[in-house]
């Protein structure tokens, strides 16, 4: 088992190296696309700044706490987009190129995550990380332990969201042979997760925690970071993330059985 995991990691790193070499062939274009991805973080910064300038803001959340939440949102969307771009994955399935995945001695989902992402989304990850550091530096009275545990919570939530996107992408292929609406779904997730889940009512909390699990990587890590929830609840959230990631993974592997070369 450990040897197989090591092989998957080596495969992923090797694949990323070649994809980066391909992406950087046209360096000017690569820089432009990375900068374009940064604008999502800039838009979040501007919108939150305007909200707190013209109103009292979100009850229970300071300006810098909201910036941190928005940064986590932009970062997780960037990470997911780096690993998988649904439209590209479904096009690989429709034109038969996906057949090559099935001939390789690696896990199919691992191959999907190593081959179907948008490298330019690293721009969003970098800008979001900068905004997060800025927000935490200005918030003050931070617990280093809480931040470290929140990072783990964020990573598990990002894993659950990534597996969800893999699942919904494969499901879209099976049902429609198309993935046009999935990007729309991801955009909604990115926008809604810029704000605390309670503003969406109980139904919104459930949906954005279990149905579209973006809150697992944004809202709850931010709450723990600012000690709005205790460590016991964070353990429960971590368990939910792991369970959902596993369920979405197994569902994806099952749906991949319905893949037909060249779209069927």
Q: What is the reported pLDDT for 262?
A: 61
DSSP 228: S
Six-digit token string for 126: 């970098």
Write the DSSP assignment of 99-160 as a string of letters: HHHHTSSS-HHHHHHHHB--GGGHHHHHHHHHHHHHHHHHH-S--HHHHHHHHHHHHHHHHH
Express each pLDDT in 131-177 by its tens digit: 999 999 999 888 899 999 999 999 999 999 999 999 999 998 888 77
Percent of the chain exceeding pLDDT 70 equals 98
The whole-angstrom separation of Cα 264 and Cα 261 is 6
Q: 191-214 burial by CB neighbour count: b if 16+ within 10 A, else e?
A: bbbbbbbeeeeeeebebbbeebbb
Percent of the chain exceeding pLDDT 90 equals 52
Six-digit token string for 209: 């925690």
Domain ranges of the chain: 27-263
Please determine, for residue 216, whether its predicted confidence score (pLDDT) is greater than 90: yes
pLDDT band of 232, cuts 50, 70, 90? very high
Task: Decide which of 226 and 185 is more confident.
Answer: 226
Chain position carrying tokens 């809604």: 192
Express each pLDDT in 95-116 by its tens digit: 878 888 777 778 888 888 988 8
Express each pLDDT in 26-83 by its tens digit: 888 889 989 999 998 999 999 999 999 998 888 899 999 999 999 999 999 999 999 9
Helix axes 86-94, 180-192, angle to 10 degrees: 170
Q: What is the reported pLDDT for 188?
A: 82
Phi, psi of 97 (to 5 degrees): -65, -25
- Rg, C-alpha atoms of the chain: 19
Instruction: Output the average pLDDT for the chain.
Output: 89
Residue 75's alpha-carbon distances to 71, 132, 155, 193, in angstroms, are 6, 9, 11, 11
Rounded to two decimals, what is the model's pTM? 0.91
Q: What is the reported pLDDT for 49?
A: 94
Express each pLDDT in 115-131 by its tens digit: 888 889 999 999 999 99
């Amino acid at each position: 088992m450990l040897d197989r995991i090591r092989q998957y990691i080596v495969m992923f790193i090797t694949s990323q190296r070649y994809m980066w070499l391909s992406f950087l062939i046209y360096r000017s274009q690569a820089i432009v696309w990375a900068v374009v991805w940064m604008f999502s973080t800039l838009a979040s910064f501007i919108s939150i700044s305007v909200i707190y300038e013209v109103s009292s803001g979100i009850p229970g959340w300071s300006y810098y706490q909201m910036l941190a939440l928005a940064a986590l949102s932009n970062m997780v969307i960037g990470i997911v987009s780096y690993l998988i771009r649904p439209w590209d994955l479904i096009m690989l399935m429709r034109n038969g190129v996906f057949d090559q995945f099935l001939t390789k001695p690696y896990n199919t989902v691992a191959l999907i995550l190593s081959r179907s992402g948008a490298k330019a989304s690293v721009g969003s990850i970098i800008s979001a990380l900068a905004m997060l550091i800025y927000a935490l530096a200005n918030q003050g009275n931070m617990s280093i332990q809480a931040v470290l545990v929140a990072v783990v919570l964020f990573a598990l939530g990002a894993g659950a969201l990534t597996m969800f996107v893999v699942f919904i992408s494969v499901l879209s292929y099976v049902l429609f042979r198309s993935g046009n609406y999935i990007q729309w779904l991801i955009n909604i997730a990115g926008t809604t997760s810029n704000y605390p889940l309670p503003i969406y009512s109980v139904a919104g909390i459930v949906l954005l925690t279990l149905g579209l699990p973006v809150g697992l990587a944004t809202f709850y890590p931010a709450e723990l970071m600012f000690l709005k929830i205790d460590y016991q609840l964070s353990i429960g959230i971590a368990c939910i993330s792991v369970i959902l990631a596993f369920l979405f993974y197994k569902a994806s592997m099952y749906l991949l059985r319905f893949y037909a070369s060249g779209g069927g």
